[in-house]
Homo-oligomer: A and B are copies of this chain.
Amino acid sequence: MILNILDDRSSRVLYAVVESYINKPEPVGSRFVTKKYSFGFSSATIRNIMADLEEIGFLSQPHTSAGRVPTDRGYRYYVDSLLNLEKAISSSEMPREFMNQFSKRLEQIKDDISGMFSEVTSTLSSISNYVSIALPPKTEKATLNRINFIKYKGDHAVAILLTDEGIIKNRIFKIDPMVKQEDLNRIADYLNSEYAGYALDEIRSMLIQSMKREKAQWDKLISRAINIFEQALSFTEEDVFVSGLDDAMNLPDFSDISKIRELSKAIKDKHVIIKLLDELSDAEGVRVMIGNENPVNELKGLSVVASTYKEGNRPMGIIALIGPTRMNYSKAISMVDVIAKCVGRTFDDRK
């Protein structure tokens, strides 16, 4: 936080510049500021203030004799003040009406996790016109409700894994054709009795223990069960839900195709996104990354507004907007905030 290093007048001028520039991507001149935002000063005074703001790196000029444009640090100051206000005022920008409707919609489809997250990202992107991303609850952290095996085509079996969070994963794998469906059922029963209620990543480490133990004991059924479970657990690829790339192309900031390409590549490379968002997920509430604060090279020059959603107190996943640094932070923040809260509440209700 770098708050309060500006006196009231300066910060008001900064806000004016930021807001005007967010509104229309044109350098903001002193004359314009005096006219549009009626401070009690002449343009000359504003000019002096703006020169000061430039000196401390909050504004910059594209060239001499153009107006000013906020720098990343300028946006940062602006956003920090916003977030400060936000705590008091809460998400006032989103109509309660909308929230209710959206909650209802989620309620209807909460049983279908991936459907629900498609809905979330597409709503978020369509109301914001930025690219929206959601990470569903992490599979590893989900708790096992039950696992089942179904014999398939003689020498295959399908593992179906259900978690308390409603995540369903399935996987086909080869088995010894001698193994009967009853065997599979017994294996499943054993595994369920042993592991249900634990988080999947806990289970994974428990398995490693067991494997050693059972190897010593040579219990055939159990060691086979553990083996199969091991296979079934390797549901590694995490889903990432993305929406709104095409809408974002309408933004003047993306008139240059190369930026879109960067963004689109970064999104395709899920690891990058997951890593980025994971980094944001440790903090409470809404977090904002501006331009070059962004650790991912491809995404410097873009801003990310993200919030975790929680079931009770446990953070489950993250919902984010990616847009140009010239982003409507105030709107974006409250949208992400509200939507994340709706999603969290939906998970709570599920119980």
Contact with B along A154-178 (1 / 0, CB 8 A): 0010101010101010111100000
| A258 nearest in chain B by CB position | B249
Q: Which listed residue, B111, B246, B268, touches A172 by the CB 8 Å rule?
A: B111
Stretch from A86-94, A142-150, A305-313 forming part of the interface with B: A142-150
Task: List the B side residues contacting A35 at CB < 8 Å.
Answer: none
Segment at the interface with B among A3-11, A15-23, A259-267: A259-267
| Number of A interface residues in the complex (CB < 8 A) | 32
Contacts of A164 in B (CB 8 A): 153
Across the interface, do A268 and B254 meet the contact criterion of CB distance under 8 Å? Answer: no
Pick the residue among B162, B172, B257 that contacts A150 (CB under 8 A).
B162
Residue of A168, A255, A256 with most partner-chain B CB within 10 A: A168
- Closest B residue to A153 using CB positions: B145
**B residues near A265, Cβ cutoff 8 Å:** 246
**Residue contact B268 to A156, C-beta cutoff 8 Å:** no
Contact yes or no, A148 B150, CB < 8 A? yes
Interfacial chain B residues near A261, Cβ < 8 Å: 246, 249-250
Closest to A250 in B: B261
Contact for A170 among B160, B173, B245, B246, CB less than 8 A: B160
Q: Is A112 an interface residue (CB 8 A)?
A: yes
Q: Closest Cβ of chain B: how far from A126's Cβ, in Å?
A: 11
Q: A136 to nearest B CB, angstroms?
A: 15
Whether A37 is near chain B, meaning CB under 8 Å from some CB there, is: no
Contact A249 B257 (CB under 8 A): yes
Which residues does chain B contribute within 8 Å of A166, judged by CB atoms? 172
Separation of A173 and B160 alpha carbons in the complex (Å): 16
Q: Which residues of B contact A172 (CB under 8 A)?
A: 111-112, 166, 168
